[in-house]
Structure 1
Amino acid sequence: MIALERPERLATPSDAQQLAELINIAGEGLPLHIWTGLARDGQDPWDIGRARQAEKAQEGQIVVVDFGEGAVAGLTGYSIGTEPVEIGADFPTLFRPLQELENQALESWYVNVLACYPEHRGQGLGARFLDLADEIARAEGLHRMSVIVAGDNVGARRLYERKGYRTVASAPCLKDGWDTNTQEWLLLMKELF
């Protein structure tokens, strides 16, 4: 991981509540839908989300912006390898189109989650995180960036396009019980120079 400057820092397990909320904002409710499907009788789906985010934070996978009162924005990403992930018959329907798109972004640094609480939008945090993502990718020896966004998320698309990303592929959204207006997923990529 590259050196971070305040107010950026690595997330810790104590950020789990904010991280779960942020990933659900970024995923437009898809994470909560998934956690609800995983919850056992009487289990709070948010407990699952918090536990998953605490684990990722423990592994040093999430960067947050913290102005002194906890995480208000977060960035999670990872390097996509050189080989596509096999999509077999048992691959979950909901994730099939997302994995198909990700398989087209081999050898890139994938922006998995970029989110900010609504009251902190308009402060340049998204652009700042994307610059940070570029630095991380370069430090890992990668020359391409990638992200998948909902086709109807115009605000996110504008942000990525301002930072040099371009739509390179699309896939239909297979809702599989998820209540959403999203009709398609878009893969956006950019080259790092």
Structure 2
Amino acid sequence: MQGQTIGALFGFSVADADDPTPLDELPAPLRPVIDLESVARGCWLLQAVALFPEHRGQGHGPALVARACQAAREAGHRRIALQVESPNTGAIALYSRCGFTAWQRRVDVPFPGSDDEGDWILMGKDLSPGTSGPAAGK
């Protein structure tokens, strides 16, 4: 926005891993997140989207999500996915308005000392016409 940083996004292609680490070998709090990431194989995963508080509510969130969808298409993907915690209702509403739907859920396993609760939700959006859901492929 006129040379001013108002937020950022980060995402990447989720590779089709040949030999994924078994979930039971991972720390318990990572298991639901890694398990959902495995469902998103072949997708472009929007790992983070953030806006400075003073720039929220001005239409920049949907613009950042649209930019992420563009990046996914430019990388050759037909699907984009993200993970969000169920208590984050504002983010879920934003992603839903941008055309994302819930694909799968996993119970959140909080780190010791964390007060996180709820579920991790894998949301996704098909970027190509005529297909939907996580089975659509890259």
Q: Could you tell me the TM-score, scaled by structure 2's length? A: 0.84
Q: Contact (CA 8 Å) 2:108, 2:116: kept in 1 or not?
A: no
1:134 equivalent in alignment to 2:69: yes
Equivalent residue number for residue 9 of structure 2: 75
- Check if 1:97 corresponds to 2:32: yes
SS of the equivalent of 2:34 reads helix
Select 1:183's aligned residue among 97, 118, 129: 118
Counterpart of 2:58 in structure 1: which amino acid? Q
Matches within 5 A, 1:1-193: 7=2, 67=4, 71-83=5-17, 85-193=20-128
5+ residue gaps in structure 2? 129-138
Shift of 1:82: 2.0
1:51-85 deviations in whole A, cap 9, x for unaligned? xxxxxxxxxxxxxxx52xxx331101101112373
Would you say the 8 A contact 2:106–2:120 is kept in 1? Answer: yes
Larger radius of gyration: 1
Residues 8-53 of structure 1, C-alpha deviations (whole Å, 9 max, x = no match) = xxxxxxxxxxxxxxxxxxxxxxxxxxxxxxxxxxxxxxxxxxxxxx
Distance 1:139 1:72, change over 3 A: same
For residues 118-156 of structure 1, the C-alpha deviation after alignment (integer angstroms, 9 at most, x for no partner) is: 221011111111111111111111000100001111110
- Select the structure with the greater relative contact order (CA < 8 A; seq sep ≥ 6): 2
Structure 1 letter corresponding to 2:118: Q
Partners of 1:191 and 1:74 in 2: CA distance: 22
**Aligned partners of 2:40 and 2:34: how far apart in 1?**
10
Rounded to whole Å, the distance in 2 between the matches of 1:72 and 1:165 is 23
Number of paired residues? 127
Displacement after TM superposition at 1:178 (Å)? 4.2
Identity of aligned residues (%): 28
Superposition RMSD in Å: 1.7
TM-score (norm 1): 0.61
